[in-house]
Structure 1
Amino acid sequence: MKLKQLTGGTFLMGTDDKHGFSEDYEGPATKVNVGSFKIGVTTVTNKEFNEFIQATGYKTTAEKYGSSFVFHILVDEEKKSEYDHVAGAPWWLVVPGADWNHPFGPNSSNEDLMNHPVVHVSLQDALAFCKWSNTTLPTESQWEYAARGGVSTEYPWGTSLTENNQFHANTWQGEFPWENSKEDGFIGTAPVESYEPNNNGLYQMIGNVWEWCRNPRYVLLDDFNTNGYELNEAPDKGEFAIRGGSFLCHCSYCNRYRLPARNGVDCHSTSSHLGFRCVKQDA
C-alpha cells in the first residue's frame, strides 16, 4: 500500500453553495485545522485485501451475513428475478453469495480485478484491515483536506465534472439507474490508478467507490476542530460517514461526487460501490 505524506494546515471545509442536500450539512464553509498524516495514494485494492485475508483468515460482514447489495446492471440478466430488491430502490439487489471475493454474485470472481478497489466491505471490515496494516481510516476533515489538494473548487480538477470536455472520474453517464452509456469507459469500478491524480498525487478521490471515514454521519463542520474521532474498536451500530461518490453518481439522482459533498450509511452496510482508503497518523 502506497502512502503519501501530507503536511497539515488549515483549510476551508464544506461549502456555502447550495448544490447539495440540506440534510447533509455541507455548510457553512468552516476553517478546519488538520495535522500532518499519510494517506493511501489509492483506495485499498482487491490484491491488498486478499493479502490481508490470506494472512488473517478474516471473514467479512457480507460473508457472515451470506449476502450483499449489488447494483442491478452488474448482475446476470437471467438471475435478477431471483433476488429481492431494496424497497424504493429496485436497482439494488440483495444477492446471496455476493462478497468482496465474489463481487457480482456467488459465481463471479475478482480474479481479473486485482487492481480495482475492494468492495462489499463494511466499516468493521475496513477497520480490521487497518488494524492489520497499522493504519486507520480518515476523518472527513482529513479526507476532504487530502482530496482538495489546496483547491477551493467543487472538483479537484476545476468547476465542472467534465472540465475541458474530458472525464476526470468514474461516474454515471446516461439515464440513471437503467442505462449507462459508458462514455467514460467503465460500467462498474475502474482500476484504482485510472484518471489523473489530484494535486496531492492521490487517485480517484472523486467517483469509483465511496470511501469509509471514521466519524459518525453528518457531524457539524466546526466540530472537527475539537474532536479527533478515534475509533479504537469497530462500532456495532450507527451510521458513519462515507465520502467521494462512486461510479453510480449522477446529477439527476446523487450529485455527491463533489469535494464538499457528504453522505453516510449504517456501519454494517456492504455493497458493490463501497470501499475505503487508509491513513497513518503522524506521531
Structure 2
Amino acid sequence: MGCCGPQRQALDAPGQPAVPAEIIEIADNTPPARKRFEGGRAQTGTAHPVIHGDGEGLIRTHRLKPFEVDTAPVTNARFAGFVAATGYVTVAERHGWGTVFRGLLDDPTREPPGGGGAPWWGIVRGACWFAPEGPGSSIEHRADHPVVHIAWEDAKAFATWAGGRLPTEAEWEHAARSGASDDRRFPWGEAEPDETDFMPANIFQGKFPMQNTAADGWAGTSPIGFFPANEAGLFDMAGNVWEWTAEPFRIRSSSKAAKARNTASRAENQKLMKGGSFLCHISYCYRYRIAARMALAADSGGCNSGFRIFYDVH
C-alpha cells in the first residue's frame, strides 16, 4: 500500500473528464520492438531475501513455454492510440480521482491524505492517465514516458486489444534476468545504485519521502530509453513504474503469517506487481530488485503504476 497508494474507495465522483484533443494528437500505435525468450527453466524468488513478509525468499522453479515481451512499458503515446481507437475509459476516470505522490504536486498540502499509514500520498480528484498530477497537468510533452494511473482492469483491456497479455511472475523475472538461470539482484547485476556515480534506474534519491534530490534528473517518470536496457534489451525492468502481472498476490507458504496475508489479499482482490518505481528507495521500498514483490488492489493504480505486454509464441 505504501509504495503505490491506498486501495480505491468509493467517492462522489464528478462526470468523467473528456480526453483533451492535444492528448489524442500524441497517439502513436507503433509498438516497441519485442524480445523472444525460448522458455525452459526459470526461477522466482531469491536466496537473499530482504522483505521476508512479501514471500520473496521462497524459491520456486518453473518450466516456461517460449514467449515474447515488449522491450518497453506501454507509453502515454501508445495508450492514447488505444483510447483513440476504442474510446476506453480507465478506472481512475470512472471513479474521478487518483493517488499522487505529494512531492509531485505544486502544493503538497492541498489534497487530503491517502491513508493507509502513507501520508505522502494525496487523493487528487481528476488525476488519471492524461492528467497524472490532476487538473492542469498534462502528458502532452511526456509522450515517450510510461503511462500511469493504470488499474489491473485497464492493463488487461489494453493487452487484449494489442494481441498480448500480462505476464506470469516467472516470465517477468526470467525477462528481467535476461533469460539467465541465476539469482542476480538487479536487471544489471549485483551493483547497488548510489546517488552520485551509478544510477542505472529511475528510483528515488534523497531522504524518502520529504527530500527528493532527483539526482538522476527525474522526480517522476522518465522517458523510455533514458536508462540502460538489461542484457536482453529490455528497458525499465527496475524502477520508473510498477508493472502489473496476470497473477493474484499470493505467498505460497503454509506459515500462519502467509495464510493471514493471503486471506487479506483475497479480500481486497490484490494482484501482483513487479519492478518497483521512481518512488522506490533502499531505506523504505527496496523493491526495485528482481525478486521483490508488491500487492495492490486490482482497482487501484497511482502515479507510478503501469504495465508491459507479453505475448504467446505460436
Shared fold per TM-score greater than 0.5: yes
The aligned residue for residue 189 of structure 1 is: 221
User: What is the CA–CA distance in structure 2 between the aligned matches of 1:143 and 1:103, rounded to whole Å?
Assistant: 26
The AA in structure 1 aligned to 2:201 is A
Counterparts of residues 253-272 of structure 1 (less than 5 Å):
253-272=284-303
Gaps of 5+ in 2: 1-30, 254-265
Deviation per residue, 1:216-262 (Å, 9 max, x gap): 003439xxxxxxxxxxxxx9961000000000000111101101111
Secondary structure in structure 1 of the residue aligned to 2:209: coil
2:202: which partner in 1? 170
Task: Return the letter of the residue paired with 2:75.
Answer: T
2:159 aligns to what SS in structure 1? helix
TM-aligned CA deviation for residue 13 of structure 1: 2.0
| TM-score normalised by the chain length of structure 1 | 0.90
Name structure 1 gaps, 5 residues minimum: 222-234
Who is 1:92 aligned against? Answer: 121
Give the Cα separation in 1 of the matches to 2:231 and 2:40: 15
Q: Which residue among 191, 194, 206 is the counterpart of 2:238?
A: 206
- Cα distance in structure 1, aligned partners of 2:156 and 2:268: 14
Between the aligned residues of both structures, percent identity stands at: 39
1:170–1:186 Cα contact (<8 Å) kept: yes
Residues 31-86 of structure 1 show CA distances to partners (whole Å, capped at 9, x for unaligned) of 22111101010000000000000001111001000000000011112xx4332112
C-alpha separation between the residues in 2 aligned to 1:205 and 1:97? 29
Note the 1:1-283 alignment, pairs <5 A.
1-2=31-32, 3-19=34-50, 21-77=51-107, 80-87=108-115, 88-149=117-178, 150=180, 151-162=182-193, 165-220=197-252, 238-283=269-314
The answer (yes or no) to whether the contact 1:218–1:262 under 8 Å persists in 2 is: no
Instruction: Tell me how far apart the structure 2 counterparts of residues 275 and 203 of structure 1 sit (CA, whole Å).
Output: 13
4+ aligned runs moved over 4 Å, structure 1: none
- Could you tell me which residue of structure 2 aligns to residue 231 of structure 1? none
**SS across alignment from 1:95:** strand
Provide the rounded CA distance (Å) in 1 between the counterparts of 2:216 and 2:281: 13
Report the AA paired with residue 49 of structure 1.
F
Q: Which whole-Å CA distance do the structure 2 matches of 1:130 and 1:219 have between them?
A: 26
Q: How far off its partner does 1:185 sit?
A: 1.2
Does the 8 Å contact 1:139/1:213 carry over to 2? yes
Does structure 2 retain, via aligned residues, the 8 Å contact 1:42–1:203? yes
RMSD, matched Cα: 1.8
Deviation at residue 147 of structure 1 after TM alignment: 0.4
Query: In structure 2, the residue corresponding to 1:38 is in which secondary structure?
Result: strand
